[in-house]
Amino acid sequence: MPHNKILSELKAGKYRPVYFLQGEEPYFIDLISDFVQENALTEDERSFNQSVLYGLDSEVSTVVAEAKRFPMMAERQVVIVKEAQRLKGLIPNEVADDEKSAKKKDAEKKGELLAYCENPQPTTVLVICHKYKKLDTRKKKAKELLAAIEHCGGVVLTSDKIKDWKVAEWIQTHVTQQGYRIDPRTSAILAEYLGNDLGKIINELGKLYISMKEGGTVTPDLIEQNIGISKDYNIFELQNALTARDVFKANRIITHYAHNPKEHPIQMLLPVLHSYFFKVSLMHFVQRSQGKLDAARTLGVAPFFLKDYQQAAAVFNDVKLRNIMTRLREADIRSKGVDNPSTGHGDIMKELMFHIMH
């Protein structure tokens, strides 16, 4: 079930007996578990009816024992298991029929969670937070556990990492839902520098909201003042300068980077430039054979930015792009000290800019 549907149910006061929250993206897992923890019970009810367990310090038998308790002077009780990926016996061992009965009994004992989910306590809300990975459904017992949760009316959420090319779009949607506005280029600047760690993105956006009026617009100036991402010296401005063959602007940006190596290390810049020119190379092929949305998906960028890659593809032909890729590899090797006894990173980048634009 999608996270937004789960949240809608919770906000409407509908609680399921079991929530199994798994996946590589912890933000949605925390979002749901935090909501249950803060809203399923009143402040007075939490003292006797809410338990928070940690996988590293707990066993399945402890979790099940807590879940089987009856609430005390409340409609329900809540049991939250954090770091469940470290919970011993979460998935029972599969034992061959010809092994000793003692081992079979041990395996059955480790299957207590599965047995509970087949007949859960109706007055308990059990939330299992299995972060950073999913259950291996190639294993029979893992499949059985997830099936039992869904069969008893519970919920299984698989929280996958958002694809890099979708992060800017996600930022736009989130900002809009919070009652503010942001344009595609500004959201792309945030996505480029913050990556696809949604928790980090939410924290940084929170800094912006504090200084904004309701319905206000997130601008590059606001981002620079509160997060520190420069509106003039970001990677998009450098890419635009290279496409426009604006030598002065490109060198000004590179000089700024050279004076601020901790904020703009060459080890970060070179992979970004490599990715950009690889996508420009790809643009030569996809713009002739694919529609706008398919081309954006192939390149891994938001549709808004296709025109930038089309312009770059018109400036850099196949031969020039192969030469640029070679120069990027050479710069990467030299930045690591190979065949380069003394040239600084700033000078390596300036030489690279010269070769790209000439």
Question: What is the phi/psi pair of residue 50, to 5°?
Answer: -130, 125
Tell me the backbone φ, ψ of residue 126, rounded to 5 degrees.
-100, 120
Query: What ranges do the domains of the chain cover?
Result: 3-158, 164-226, 235-357
d(CA 40, CA 33): 10
pTM, rounded to two decimals: 0.74
Other Cβ atoms within 10 Å of 181 Cβ, number: 15
Q: Tell the CATH topology of 235-357.
A: Zinc Finger, Delta Prime; domain 3 (1.20.272)
CB atoms within 10 A of CB 8: 11
Q: What would the two tokens of residue 226 be?
A: 């509160």
- Identical fold for domains 164-226 and 235-357, yes or no, is no
Looking at the structure, give the CATH architecture of the domain made up of residues 3-158.
Answer: 3-Layer(aba) Sandwich (3.40)
Residue 297, class by beta-carbon neighbours within 10 Å (0-12 exposed, 13-18 middle, 19+ buried)? middle
What pLDDT, on the 0 to 100 scale, is given for residue 94?
53
What pLDDT score does 34 carry? 96
Whether the CB-CB separation of 191 and 167 falls below 8 Å is answered with yes
Looking at residue 291, its pLDDT comes to: 65
Fold of 164-226: Helicase, Ruva Protein; domain 3 (1.10.8)
Question: Please, is 18 exposed, middle or buried when counting C-beta atoms within 10 Å of its C-beta (0-12, 13-18, 19+)?
Answer: buried
Tell me the mean pLDDT per 10 residues along the chain, length 358.
93 97 95 96 95 93 95 96 91 57 50 92 97 91 94 95 85 92 88 85 91 89 86 87 92 90 86 92 80 75 82 93 94 88 87 91
> Which residue, 28, 29, 51, is CA-closest to 40?
51
How far CA 343 is from CA of 209, 339, 349, in Å, comes to 43, 10, 10
Instruction: Report the pLDDT value the prediction gives residue 188, as an integer from 0 to 100.
Output: 84
